[in-house]
């Protein structure tokens, strides 16, 4: 009964390839997020979707494209992978609701991406 799940857990690929990471939450939340954690453990928001609408789009290369087919899913597609994309990518979700007050974020287990 995993609340926030990600696939795959590990992803090893060559430079220049295109890859996707999938995220699903079964908490009934209306907002989902992608974070990147670098080798020094620093976490930075990349994107957020609320009710399938993009609400946060931080300064990331446009090779990264999030897609939210429904409220329970937020996928991350990365084109033309580069060495610097190697990191752990975390998906998270929270319930915001009509008040605009965001509740606690719940994180997935992470996807460790290694670009060779």
| Residues within the interface to other proteins (CB under 8 A) | 4, 31, 33, 40-45, 48, 50, 55-56, 90, 92, 94, 96, 99-102, 104-110
3-state secondary structure of 96: coil
Nearer Cβ to other proteins, position 16 or 44?
44
Collapse the DSSP code of 100 into the 3-class scheme (helix H, G, I; strand E, B; otherwise coil) and give the result.
coil
Cα dihedral sign for 80, 84, 87, 90? negative
State the nearest-atom distance from the C-beta of 113 to other proteins, in Å: 15
Closest to other proteins by CB, 64 or 90: 90
Residues 6+ apart with CB under 8 A from 88: 36, 37, 110, 111, 112, 113
Closest separation in Å from C-beta 114 to other proteins: 15
Between residues 72 and 102, which has the closer beta carbon with respect to other proteins? 102
Stretch (H or E) spanning 55:
strand 53-57
Q: Shortest Cβ distance from residue 15 to other proteins (Å)?
A: 26
């Amino acid at each position: 009964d995993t609340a926030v799940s990600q696939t795959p857990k590990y992803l090893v690929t060559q430079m220049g390839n295109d890859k996707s990471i999938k995220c699903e939450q079964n908490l009934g939340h209306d907002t989902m997020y992608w974070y990147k954690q670098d080798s020094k453990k620093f976490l930075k928001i990349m994107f957020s979707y609320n009710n399938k609408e993009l609400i946060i789009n931080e300064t990331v290369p446009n090779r990264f494209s999030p897609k939210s087919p429904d409220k329970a899913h937020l996928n991350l597609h990365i084109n033309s992978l580069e060495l610097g994309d190697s990191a752990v990518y975390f998906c998270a979700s929270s319930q915001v609701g009509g008040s605009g007050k965001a509740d606690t974020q719940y994180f997935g287990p992470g996807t460790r991406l290694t670009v060779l």
